[in-house]
Structure 1
Amino acid sequence: MDVRSVLRAVPGEAGLLGTPAVRVAVLDGPVDFAHPCFAGADLARLPTLVADAAGAGLMSLHGTHVASLLFGQPGSPVAGLVPRCQGLVVPVFRESPDGGVARVPQLDLARAVEQAVEAGAHVINISGGERSADGRAEAMLERALRRCAENGVLVVAAVGNDGCDCLQAPAATPSVLAVGATDATGAPLDINNWGPAYRSNGVLAPGRGIEGAAPGGGLASLTGSSFATPAVTGVAALLVAQQIAEGREPDPLAAGRAILASASRPPCAPDDAPRCRRLLGGHLTAARAFDLIREGGSVVPDGVRGEPVITIGGPSSPPPTHAEPKGRAIVMDTNAVHAHTGESAEGLSAAAAPPPAAPDTAPATPPQAPALPPLPQTAPTAAQTPAPTQPVAPPQVQAPSPAPPSWPATAAQAPQQVAPPAFQQPVPQAGVQPTAQADSLTAQPAPPAPAEQGVRPSCPDCGGTCGGRSGGGTTANMGAVANGEARQLIFAIGTIGFDYRTEARRDSFRQQMPVEFRPATGETPEQEVQPNVYDPRQVHAYLAKNPWACDKLTWTLNMDATPIYALEAESPVGMDWTRPIITDRAATADAVRVNATAAVNDNTAQLAEIVDTLSYPPVSTVYRTLRDAIVGQILKQEDPAYVSRVSVPGVLTDRTVRLFSGQVVPVVEVKSRGLYTWNEHAFVRSVVDALRHMDSIDQAEAHLVMTIRNFLDKIYWQYRNLGQSSADRAMNFAGTNAFEVGKEIVAAMAAQDVPGRGTNKSEPDRPYALDSIRATKSPFCRPGSDCQDVVMTFFDPENDRRAKRSILFTYDVSDELPVSLAPPHHFIGGF
């Protein structure tokens, strides 16, 4: 099937090729840029964790095929939907060593989504996902998707191909446009996933036997929701191009709403029956979507439905960010194609049917399109489902195909791995398309979650050999292009970890580390302790005396115990020669005895420790900070040397490393300026001490501590991020800088200038609490800078009628270490 068939009945279909003003990002496997269909295409590959060129593997086939459905040039072997649009190729699915499907963490998908947004994408295509019990993405991916909605970027994702009543992230996210596949007659494929979330944000598009490019210059016909997704992505991009052609601002989210509102869904009852839920929100009807966009007004005509319309990514309150429990995600089973039991054709009258064959031109009066349903917090009921405006004949449902062989299970690794895209075994183009047969559908339980975890392509069977015509050609790879020559800066907050990457490296450290002797006590004799390469204290002691081994260890920045970056020190500068290298230990001990404080006295053990510390050889300040942090993190909060957080400024390189667990993370070159460690407990104590002197604040210390803890939790947990985007770097610096501007936070929490505060002396006012933090591009900025306004808003938790209090910080994040541009500004009310 030709992917451009979805444009039938759209006036001027032959001239709908897109415009360079629209950017479409494809998050998929490697793409063979040397394929003839891409000759003349405007494509750029963004640097990601997948640096390999396209080859003959399954992920290269998947990525090349999906990209060709969008960017294949007119007159070439594959004519794509948007050949004139700018294409951003963002590889996320790497080839598996065994030639199978390689899953990737949702964290990696979140990185790629953020990169696409930073590169100016209008529409993002994700032909893959990970099974989730409740359909929710993990915290980082959820944040990236929310950022897309806030920035007006439309994300289109596949529903998956397990053939079950189950949800997949990111497709089940309300702000995402989910896509299922149909056969040539419009009947939903048996392998489609369905679920209550997809009723509100999903559409069906052709996905059986879709003709596209294969690496090496060949062609293939592939089946699955992976290949229905580009059809919807392409239509959305063309709708954005139409907006631009009419002189309007591009609004990808409006394009998504138009696609949902114009979807053709026949009557089906009861609405929550499996055969009805398989219809998702209806069939893609491009002609109607273009009519709605060309009207230039409301996406939903007045009088179509009486219910309120909530837009994709609209101003509804976003769900709170949450930390996903590890090991909880359920992965979509790529090979689980469930055969449905046969029943009589009776009862199919309410089942779905494909929309009638479209004429060559659009009807003079297009049928009214249904309104975009509201984004549900729970599954919609039949009573909530509006009646469609046009009855359509019942559909023919495709006969089930035999289940492909199972993939070998692999042990789950941390972090959770997302499965690659799913697509059915390629169908040779010379073959005959299977004939659709009527078959009643019964409810099928969701198949058990496979052992593998992670995002994968949405393909029901990634095994086998690609069918279809093959041709000559070589595999090539376009060089990474992202924002010209600009460096990708990082300012992230987390904790420090270390990794050995291989067993050989780990064993070499074990053999080099000295045996530890624990002194005798009154109850136990002296003990000999063998080296423990995972004990931060022993590792610290070894590196302190052998600093040349610091770069042999792989340092990581962790978030929720998950490594997000590998850390390397900047080029050898900033070496720490603050104390001389000690050669005469006896003389030094004598000097220490003379000058020691009363706390040291003549304690031999303490003297030896001081001498050892003074005799440490010099080391880069970066490695010294990382080395000391791993010990500080395991101390008690009351200890002055306790480390609760570390801020890491640096530059994201184009290199990656594979950790011992198998996880691949990008390498950051850490800069010494702005590399801070801090004690959260000490900060709380300092703020409490400052608040004690304010008469209008309740003196209950426990309440003060709780309020400040809630403030810090919001900064370091609810708003945690990768520190890649300008807004996130500014927000992270505000969280770090909070320790330097404590008096501003104290003033905001006291809110003494808010009317009504402090008037009732019999009931002292309690501190304000942090309500929200947001970062936006500053309207005032010096030339050549990247300025962000960070607004912290505080509210009275005991009286919501009282005015809020806001602080505005302006930061320039154009350098590795952000800098404050002006003193903080205080406002009564929101900002």
Structure 2
Amino acid sequence: MTDLERVPGLERLWAQTTGDENILVAVVDGPVARDHPALAGATIDVLTGVWPAEGTATRPGRHGTAVASVLFGQPGSAVRGVAPRCRGLSVPAFSARRDKTSQLELARGIELAVERGAHVINVSGGQFSPSGESDDPLSRAVRLCAQENVLVVAAAGNDGCACNHVPASLPGVLAVGALDELGKPLAMSNWGPAYRDQGLMAPGENLLTAVPGGGTARRTGTSLATPVVAGVAALLLAEQVRLGSRPDPSGVRRLLLATASSCVTEGSNAGSTTSDGNEGCERCLAGVLDIEGALTALTTQLSGTQTPATTHTPAATRNLATTQTTATTSSPETPLRPEAVVLSAAPGCGCGEAPRAVAGPTVMPTPSFQDLVTAGVVPSTTVPAPVTKAPTPEVVLSADLEDPGRQLVYALGTLGYDFGTEARRDSFKQLMDPVLIDGIAVPANPYDARQMVDHLRTNPSEASALIWTLNLELTPIYALEPSGPYAADIYDLLIRLLAGEVDVEEAENFIERVAIPGAMSGQNAKLFSGQVVPVLDLRQRRGLYGWEVNRLVAGATQIALDQPGDTAPAETVATSLRDFLSRIYYDLRNLGATSRDRALNFAATNAFQAAQTFASALAMGLVLDTITVEKSPFGRQDSDCWDVRLRFFDPENSRRAKRVFRFTIDVSDVQPVTLGEVRSWPES
């Protein structure tokens, strides 16, 4: 059996640190039984108000509790975790209400963990992906982590093949495969080219875990190896803090990969092939987690001193890469094995090396300073402290006085509707008036939005019987539920917005997309397709907005052209404004849940202000280069202010300075608001 106390190097790391409460590790998984004795004393918050609260006596609950106990199990308890003094955040994206969790929900969980200030995000689950690519929301969530310097540690999967799981195979993620008790890759642990430069092997067989209700059990799989790596990463971040540096999750990822050691394969030598024809050494991904080597390398990096050269060659001499289906958890329950074998830290071989005989636990020699320089882990001169995000305090996400803890959303998309069940669909079909086609009456088609609009205009009370949805392209991301004393008015507005969407594109009142401000209700809606989406609570009409693009562009262009001074021709301003709106939606589309995304989406909706910016820039012959959103250094008390920056450049003169236009948006309320005027300055 594998006990964490026997994992080589972990006791030495624990002697330096068992964690820091300022290091936040998010567990995107099932709900966690925080009342388990092994977690007594652990600081584990729960992200509430997004998914319905569920008990832990479920498969997702058992899985989430097991993963959390490997991370946060307290010293002296039945289950000792890797990083017991780090702070935890349970993100219960896996639900017993559905068999599998979509990539959309994984993306939502990852984004919200970033919003709460996570340094490390543990995802002990994934979805099989033949290409190694994911749906757009999940890809964007992982890219957000890279931008915010947040480390995603994800399970490689338990299919036992050279195949990909997302998010583990996405660029920038630290993938984790599982070792058995002898230090060999488990037969179930996935491998493949996507993991070759960004995957680590870690103990994953018969790990002792907590079980909801107070018991313990041994579990096997990449799901359990993942929190071992995530916990070690958290401890190294805590050690950075202890040594006076700022936590650098991306730097720790590079360090862990750079110091990875080789492992034992099933064949007699590293160059042997397995029965399925894959290279045996490929099962080892980029190498085995080497805690001793990583800790020594970190100490060397922060102290700037050189250690004696050794024979160890770190795995980082390799090039380290940074790139509606369902996701499944990655650790099946397995029978216990009676024998207890101590895991060896580095019993094996690198590609092309012969295996080394090992008797009992061993420790690989640590990398020299020159090794780390060659691998690009540390610079060849001085070693400055990493410049990274500081620990982020928990932020109050809502200014709604009725419920100040609700997760706010300001999302863009297209309006749709759903019936939920066949019975509900058929009831609409029977109640809707027949349609005349060439003088012949045919039954109504409830999926025809034009027919539905006509029916709802005649029978407005029927609007509440539909499940209204907000979609990104053809994918529903939220269900919309008007509530409160103005619910009838909100339903009426939704009918009008839907009517605008089905109008002809040339019409003045044509609506291309809608902006929806609301808050997560903590409930889910199951759609006719079986997809489950969070419900947005809409309590007021204010801020619900249809993008009447034709009217918007005409009006905003006129406002821009009325500004004093030389401006670009009206057609140029109008074209640029349309390009801006399209780019926000198609190139930067998002779920609208994080503060950054709410600011970005409101910037697009507040297009009149953007039009004035475009007119000024275009008058100087500039075109849009980048759109960025940054936390504003200034803001009112209890505000959540973000600066939207539009950068323009001269396509005919690359030496000309860029022009930056900035405006500030406060997203602390359900309805965001702009602050002050647009500011502009040149930028080299």
On whether the aligned pair clears a TM of 0.5, the verdict is yes
| TM-aligned CA distance change 1:536 to 1:273, over 3 Å | closer
**Deviation by residue 1:553-592 (Cα, 9 ceiling, x = unmatched):** 111111111111111224123x8xxxxxxxxxxxxxxxxx
Give the aligned partner of residue 54 of structure 2.
52
Of 410, 414, 418, the match for 1:495: 414
| SS of residue paired to 1:17 | coil
Which position in structure 2 is the counterpart of 1:814? 668
What is the CA distance between 1:286 and its match in structure 2?
Answer: 0.6
Is the CA contact 2:79–2:210 (under 8 Å) kept in the aligned structure 1? Answer: yes
- Please name the residue that 1:247 is paired with: 244
Match of 1:282 among 257, 281, 287: 287
Say if 2:9 and 2:290, in contact at 8 Å, map to a contact too.
Answer: no
The answer (yes or no) to whether the contact 2:416–2:471 under 8 Å persists in 1 is yes
Is the 2:281–2:350 contact (alpha carbons within 8 Å) kept by the matching residues of 1?
Answer: no
Which digits, 9 at most, give the CA deviation of each residue in 1:404-447, with x for residues without a partner?
A: xxxxxxxxxxxxxxxxxxxxxxxxxxxxxxxxxxxxxxxxxxxx
Distance 1:715 1:369 in 2: 44
- Cα distance between partner residues in 2 of 1:305 and 1:54: 42
Partner of 2:381: none
Mapped to 2, the partners of 1:156 and 1:780 lie a distance apart of 34
- In the alignment, does 2:186 pair up with 1:189? yes
For residues 185-584 of structure 1, what are the structure 2 equivalents within 5 Å?
Answer: 185-265=182-262, 274-297=279-302, 350=352, 485-517=404-436, 524=438, 526-573=439-486
Does the Cα contact within 8 Å between 1:311 and 1:374 map onto a contact in 2?
A: no
> Is the alpha carbon distance of 1:353 and 1:731 closer, same or farther for their aligned partners in structure 2, counting shifts above 3 Å?
farther
Q: Deviations over 1:312-332 (max 9, x none)?
A: 87xxxxx6xxxxxx67x9999
For 1:662, the equivalent position in structure 2 comes to 530
Q: What letter corresponds to residue 488 of structure 1 in structure 2?
A: Q
In structure 1, what is the equivalent of residue 120 of structure 2?
123
Paired positions, count: 631
Among residues 743, 746, 750, which one is paired with 2:612 in the alignment? 743
Q: d(CA) in 2 for partners of 1:370 and 1:190?
A: 32
Which of 522, 528, 542 is the matching residue for 1:673?
Answer: 542
CA contact (8 A) 1:496 1:556 kept: yes
**Conserved in 2, the CA contact under 8 Å of 1:71 and 1:83?**
yes
**Cα distance between partner residues in 2 of 1:726 and 1:284:** 35
The answer to whether residue 177 in structure 2 is matched with residue 180 in structure 1 is yes
Give me the whole-angstrom Cα distance separating, in 1, the residues matched to 2:672 and 2:196.
44
Counterpart CA distance in 1 for 2:286 and 2:463 is 56
How big is each residue's C-alpha offset from its partner over 1:790-816, in whole Å with a ceiling of 9 and x where there is no partner? 001122334433332221011111111
User: What is the one-letter code of the residue matched to 2:41?
Assistant: G
Which SS does the other structure have where 2:25 is aligned?
Answer: strand
- Say if 1:208 and 1:367 are closer, same or farther in 2 by CA, change over 3 A: farther
SS of aligned partner of 1:11 = helix
Q: Give the match for residue 643 of structure 2.
A: 789
Residue in structure 2 matching 1:162, options 159, 175, 191: 159
1:444-468 CA-partner distances (Å, limit 9, x unpaired): xxxxxxxxxxxxxxxxxxxxxxxxx
Say whether the 8 Å CA contact 2:66–2:210 is kept in structure 1.
yes
What 5-or-longer segments of structure 1 have no aligned partner? 314-318, 320-325, 338-346, 376-480, 519-523, 576-618, 753-766
Structure 1 357/802 Cα, relative in aligned 2: closer, same or farther at 3 Å?
farther
Separation (CA, whole Å) in 2 of partners of 1:713 and 1:300: 52
Rg comparison, structure with higher value: 1
- Partners in 2 of 1:374 and 1:196 — Cα distance? 22
SS in 1 for 2:676: coil
Which residue of 135, 141, 144 corresponds with 1:144?
A: 141
- Secondary structure of the corresponding residue to residue 453 of structure 2: helix
Higher helix share: 2
Whole-Å separation in 1 of the counterparts to 2:369 and 2:612: 62
C-alpha deviation, 1:740, in angstroms: 4.6
C-alpha displacement at 1:546, in angstroms? 2.5
Q: 1:650 to 1:373 in 2, by over 3 A?
A: farther
Residue 625 of structure 1 and its aligned partner are, at CA, apart by 2.1
User: 2:88 matched to which residue of 1?
Assistant: 87
1:719 aligns with 2:638: no
In 2, distance between residues paired with 1:28 and 1:507?
A: 37
The CA distance in 2 between the partners of 1:529 and 1:692, in whole Å, is: 51
Question: Contact conserved, 2:38 with 2:77, CA < 8 A, in 1?
Answer: yes
Task: Report whether the alignment pairs 1:642 with 2:522.
Answer: no
Q: In structure 2, what is the equivalent of residue 804 of structure 1? A: 658
Counterparts of 1:749 and 1:120, CA distance in 2: 38
Q: Does 1:728 align with 2:597?
A: yes
Say if 1:795 and 1:804, in contact at 8 Å, map to a contact too. yes
1:113 CA displacement: 0.6
In 1, Cα distance between equivalents of 2:423 and 2:84: 49
Match of 1:68 in 2: 69
Maintained 8 Å contact 1:44/1:89:
yes
The one-letter code matched in structure 2 to 1:719 is L
CA, structure 1 residues 243+547, in 2 after alignment: closer, same or farther (shift >3 Å)?
Answer: same
Deviation at 1:722, TM superposition (A): 1.0
Q: Which amino acid is the alignment partner of residue 521 of structure 2?
A: T
Residues 672, 786 of structure 1: alpha-carbon distance in 2 compared, 3 angstrom cutoff: same
* Structure 2 gap ranges (5+): 264-268, 335-348, 378-395
Q: 1:737 to 1:364 in 2, by over 3 A?
A: closer
Relative to structure 1, the CA distance from residue 330 to residue 189 in structure 2 (aligned partners, 3 Å threshold; closer, same or farther) is same
Distance 1:364 1:567, change over 3 A: closer
Instruction: Report the alpha carbon displacement of residue 356 of structure 1 after superposing the two structures with TM.
Output: 5.6
Post-superposition Cα deviations, 1:262-291, rounded to whole Å, max 9, x if no partner, equal 111379569996223222111101111111
The secondary structure found in structure 1 opposite 2:225 is helix
Matched to 2:298, the amino acid is I
Contact between 1:565 and 1:666, CA under 8 Å: does it hold in 2? yes
The 1:256–1:74 alpha-carbon spacing in structure 2 relative to 1, beyond 3 Å, is same
Q: CA deviation at 1:173?
A: 1.9
Q: Which residue of 2 aligns with 1:430?
A: none
% identical equivalent positions: 42
- Map 1:545-624 onto structure 2 (within 5 A): 545-573=458-486, 619-620=488-489, 622-624=490-492
Aligned counterparts of 2:261 and 2:315: Cα–Cα separation in 1? 19
Alignment partners' CA distance in 1, 2:179 and 2:245: 33
Q: TM-score, normalised by structure 1?
A: 0.69
Equivalent of 1:768 in 622, 637, 647: 622
After superposition, the Cα gap between the structure-2 partners of 1:50 and 1:143, relative to the gap in structure 1 and judged at 3 Å, is same
Instruction: Determine the C-alpha separation between the residues in 1 that align with 2:426 and 2:433.
Output: 13
Q: 1:667 to 1:640 in 2, by over 3 A?
A: same
Aligned match of 2:497: 629
Provide closer, same or farther for how the CA distance between residues 551 and 374 of structure 1 changes in structure 2, counting only shifts above 3 A: farther
**Contact 1:187/1:352 (<8 A) preserved:** no
Using the alignment, how far apart are the partners of 2:183 and 2:562 within structure 1?
A: 72
Residue 101 of structure 2 aligns to which amino acid in structure 1? V
Q: Tell me if structure 2 keeps the 8 A contact 1:490–1:651.
A: yes
Are the aligned partners of 2:286 and 2:315 in contact in 1 as well (CA < 8 Å)?
A: no
State the alpha-carbon separation in 1 of the partners of residues 304 and 38 from structure 2: 35
